[in-house]
């Protein structure tokens, strides 16, 4: 339990409280594929678990591949995406 808590404190990337409407995050994946996510909404589901609704564009090199809307649980979103980008 202590090890899990320490892992949460020292994990790099965003924290759930950093995820707010309008924030922009990015995730660089293998092969220089970049996901850029803009938070559209953060709302709880019927069980009270917060979920992030976001628009994501997937880019490879200098070309935009596609854009779509997705939803992830708040904790999963915070793990997947790094710190928010500044404008």
Rounded Cα distance, 17 and 45, in Å: 17
| Cross-strand bridge partners of residue 36 | 26, 57
**For residue 30, what are the domain limits?**
2-80
* Sequence-distant (≥ 6) Cβ neighbours of residue 33 within 8 angstroms: 58, 59, 60
pTM: 0.74
Query: Is residue 85 included in any domain, yes or no?
Result: no
pLDDT tens-digit series, residues 7-47: 443 444 556 668 999 999 999 888 888 899 999 999 999 99
Residue 78, both tokens: 């915070």
Query: Is residue 20 included in any domain, yes or no?
Result: yes
Query: Is residue 87 included in any domain, yes or no?
Result: no
Total domains in the chain come to: 1
Query: Is residue 48 included in any domain, yes or no?
Result: yes
* Sequence-distant (≥ 6) Cβ neighbours of residue 64 within 8 angstroms: 57, 58
Query: Is residue 7 included in any domain, yes or no?
Result: yes
């Amino acid at each position: 339990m202590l090890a899990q808590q320490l892992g949460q404190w020292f994990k790099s990337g965003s924290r759930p409280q950093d995820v707010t409407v309008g924030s922009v995050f990015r995730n660089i994946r293998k092969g220089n594929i970049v996901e850029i996510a803009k938070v559209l909404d953060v709302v709880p589901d019927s069980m009270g678990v917060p979920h992030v609704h976001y628009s994501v564009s997937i880019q490879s090199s200098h070309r935009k591949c596609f854009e779509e809307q997705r939803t992830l649980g708040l904790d999963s979103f915070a793990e997947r995406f790094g710190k928010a980008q500044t404008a």
